[in-house]
A and B are shown apart, each in its own frame.
Chain A
């Protein structure tokens, strides 16, 4: 018996070994023959899910032309990724994992950048920045936006943003509300919405982004605009305790913010829940609801007009006469009386990029003063460069820029530590629970506390 067994196993193992060697050989062949061309810089960016919005595409096409003229023999290849925010991040992360797919330059949201830095996806840019005079034009908060815990800088920010309330003056008039409106408390926001619901029943009174489908928009434009306006008795940041370096669970402000969201959807002051939980809601708000006068109050970002500029697809030159702007008030009018959140995006170079030097050349072309200014105007961005901010042609380019730039004084930044993206998802789940009515505020908040422990490896501190 035994010799037979040995006899059959030997050829079998030989055979398996041969197969494995073959397999290994062909795999190495795959890895070695990277098809990237040393003269081509590949640029990944997020394309709007609204087909008629081409702000980024147009801008990058222009930069590409300049770049190719200035660098003869070099080529720029644009790799658009058309997806809602949350899917964009996933797709980019997958691309960054392998040198076969990693682009040379990638558009990264600041909230995710620390997380991606921890994963080793990005390359520190300090060596390039030291030799780049324009870097001195960036304001300090912008320089720290993409600075990791190791003190190195991983991204060049192309602007920041602030958030506030947009309201439809025509709807306000019908509802008997003032044309210049500045609510002082959350209650005043809600009572205005109730008035709209009563007097103008065929419009959506108040939009607050919510739930997982809206992604980071729900967390930042929705929840954090409430949470960071609940007063600062628990420390400067209601999500993260900087003293103990732990995330905050079980807090009263957290439940208060959830209660606001619950009220909006329970009293049907917000969009229909199925619309609120549509992943493309942000696109619909800008492209349909506001321009068509179907939305009373919208808690949203400073960048909305980029979709309404000439050549953007949804031209709406009248927006500044039709819409009013108000700062989001704090919960009960606590100092400083208003609240805003700021984020922004950066251009970063993947650690597996084939042509990092060329990629930085592309950043330099994007960030000549003229090009940077063109971008700020095109995407309704808040400038993070001193030379652009001081230029009157930027300030006057668009109504609203001054209003949103003034909000920078009372703005907050997210605790963009590596765990933040997961914390953000946990917030979205809590919001979704109270939005659909599947969970009460207490239930949603305690589910958040549980999720927080898992998301942060138990780095959690209880605050009442």
Chain B
């Protein structure tokens, strides 16, 4: 009696302060996610259907047979590798490393410009880059001025154009993360390496990179997850087109759910996108753990 009673009331009292937070989380986070997971197993449609029914894994089977879905998975990987891994991450690190040596005015100026791109709302950034890449746009004007052949970038190389746009927009984040990480490297170590005659590249490879390993991991993970879910930028620039040549998974999901009215299928694709994201996360976490 005593053993069972006291802890019960004590646990309840202890639980009391967190109750509002848990209720809110259940309501606004777990609730919609659970509802979403449920819908993914139904054939719910926005129109043309009297009643939806539970159809098990049918949506997922359809997805893996759907060429457009596989195309979207492939483009999502291309987009993520190009713009997040190669673009934002590498460029961010390069900028951070260069800015360490730059004079203060240069640092302020470059930092300001890069961060402006990041602060801009996604839709605004999308329109800016749409104006940059479109046929009558800035890029072609510059190319014409240099007497180089111009082309309609959003039509001929849409996935490259949107990847570039994402690099333009997202590099600031990596730069900030790496600037902070680089500042943490003790000066003595770099100086010692310099005394031992290590050149710039060798110092980068043997000293800097190993020392900011954890930041690299964190940054890669955040970057990748952000990039996987980019929607507004691509939507504004190309709407996933022409055809489906820049249709990444979020755009594919939107099209299925809201343009073709197949909410059930679209939601299933959303869950698959979640799986892709967690796969990336698992890989990064593994990398981080083994290297520590």
Q: A3-B4, A7-B8 are in contact. Are A418 and B48 (CB under 8 A)?
A: yes
Asked if A14 and B48 sit within 8 Å, CB to CB, the answer is no
Residue in A closest to B8 when the chains form the complex, CB atoms? A11
Asked if B46 and A118 sit within 8 Å, CB to CB, the answer is no
Q: Closest approach, in angstroms, between the C-beta of B134 and any C-beta of chain A? A: 8
Q: Is B23 an interface residue (CB 8 A)?
A: yes
Asked if B50 and A118 sit within 8 Å, CB to CB, the answer is yes
Interface string of B3-30 (1 = CB under 8 A from A): 1100110011001000100110011000
Contacts of B31 in A (CB 8 A): 23
Q: Is A205 an interface residue (CB 8 A)?
A: no
Which of B47, B48, B50, B241 gathers the greatest number of chain A CB atoms within 10 Å? B47
Asked if A272 and B135 sit within 8 Å, CB to CB, the answer is yes
Interface string of B23-65 (1 = CB under 8 A from A): 1001100010000000000000111111000000000001000
Q: Closest approach, in angstroms, between the C-beta of B242 and any C-beta of chain A? A: 5
Contacts of A114 in B (CB 8 A): 48
Asked if A7 and B4 sit within 8 Å, CB to CB, the answer is yes
Interface residues of A in 1-28 (CB under 8 A from B): 3, 7-8, 10-11, 14-15, 18-20, 22-23, 26-27
The CA-CA distance from A20 to B27 in the complex, in Å, is 9
Stretch of B178-186, B253-261, B270-278 on the interface side: B253-261
Q: Is B125 an interface residue (CB 8 A)?
A: no
Contacts of B7 in A (CB 8 A): 7
Q: Is A119 an interface residue (CB 8 A)?
A: yes
Asked if A120 and B4 sit within 8 Å, CB to CB, the answer is no
**Is the contact region of chain A dominated by helix, strand, or loop, or is it mixed?**
helix
Which of A23, A120, A211, A425 gathers the greatest number of chain B CB atoms within 10 Å? A23
Q: A7-B8, A15-B19 are in contact. Are A93 and B46 (CB under 8 A)?
A: yes
Q: A23-B23, A277-B241, A432-B243 are in contact. Are A115 and B12 (CB under 8 A)?
A: no
Q: A11-B8, A23-B31, A118-B49 are in contact. Are A93 and B19 (CB under 8 A)?
A: no
Q: Closest approach, in angstroms, between the C-beta of B200 and any C-beta of chain A? A: 44
Asked if B11 and A425 sit within 8 Å, CB to CB, the answer is no
Q: Is B168 an interface residue (CB 8 A)?
A: no
Asked if B48 and A11 sit within 8 Å, CB to CB, the answer is no
Asked if B243 and A8 sit within 8 Å, CB to CB, the answer is no
Asked if A274 and B47 sit within 8 Å, CB to CB, the answer is no
Q: Is A90 an interface residue (CB 8 A)?
A: yes
Asked if B47 and A93 sit within 8 Å, CB to CB, the answer is yes
The CA-CA distance from A90 to B242 in the complex, in Å, is 22
Contacts of A170 in B (CB 8 A): none
Which of B23, B27, B48, B259 gathers the greatest number of chain A CB atoms within 10 Å? B48
Interface residues of A in 254-268 (CB under 8 A from B): none
Asked if A422 and B261 sit within 8 Å, CB to CB, the answer is yes
The CA-CA distance from A200 to B178 in the complex, in Å, is 57
Contacts of B155 in A (CB 8 A): 273-274
Asked if B152 and A274 sit within 8 Å, CB to CB, the answer is yes
Asked if A15 and B12 sit within 8 Å, CB to CB, the answer is yes
Contacts of A7 in B (CB 8 A): 3-4, 7-8
Q: Is A237 an interface residue (CB 8 A)?
A: no
Q: Is B175 an interface residue (CB 8 A)?
A: no
Q: A10-B8, A212-B259, A273-B155 are in contact. Are A22 and B135 (CB under 8 A)?
A: no
Asked if B4 and A421 sit within 8 Å, CB to CB, the answer is no
Q: Is A63 an interface residue (CB 8 A)?
A: no
Contacts of B261 in A (CB 8 A): 90, 93, 421-422
The CA-CA distance from A27 to B243 in the complex, in Å, is 42
Q: Is A419 an interface residue (CB 8 A)?
A: yes
Asked if A90 and B26 sit within 8 Å, CB to CB, the answer is no
Interface residues of A in 361-405 (CB under 8 A from B): none
Interface string of A160-202 (1 = CB under 8 A from B): 0000000000000000000000000000000000000000000
Asked if A112 and B47 sit within 8 Å, CB to CB, the answer is yes
Contacts of A277 in B (CB 8 A): 241-242
Contacts of B241 in A (CB 8 A): 211-213, 277, 432
Q: Closest approach, in angstroms, between the C-beta of B104 and any C-beta of chain A? A: 44
The CA-CA distance from A11 to B14 in the complex, in Å, is 11
Q: Closest approach, in angstroms, between the C-beta of B230 and any C-beta of chain A? A: 20
Which of A27, A116, A212, A425 gathers the greatest number of chain B CB atoms within 10 Å? A212
The CA-CA distance from A326 to B205 in the complex, in Å, is 72
Residue in B closest to A10 when the chains form the complex, CB atoms? B8
The CA-CA distance from A212 to B255 in the complex, in Å, is 10
The CA-CA distance from A378 to B31 in the complex, in Å, is 48
Contacts of B26 in A (CB 8 A): 19-20, 23
Q: Is A228 an interface residue (CB 8 A)?
A: no
Asked if A116 and B47 sit within 8 Å, CB to CB, the answer is yes
The CA-CA distance from A432 to B68 in the complex, in Å, is 14
The CA-CA distance from A18 to B19 in the complex, in Å, is 9
Asked if A272 and B152 sit within 8 Å, CB to CB, the answer is yes
Picked from B135, B239, B259, the residue with its CB within 8 Å of the CB of A425 is: B259
Picked from A14, A90, A120, A213, the residue with its CB within 8 Å of the CB of B239 is: A213
Q: A7-B4, A272-B152, A279-B239 are in contact. Are A19 and B22 (CB under 8 A)?
A: yes
Q: Closest approach, in angstroms, between the C-beta of B199 and any C-beta of chain A? A: 48
Q: Is B95 an interface residue (CB 8 A)?
A: no
Given contacts A15-B15, A119-B45, A274-B134, 6 further A-B contacts (CB under 8 A): A7-B7, A19-B26, A93-B47, A273-B155, A438-B245, A454-B62
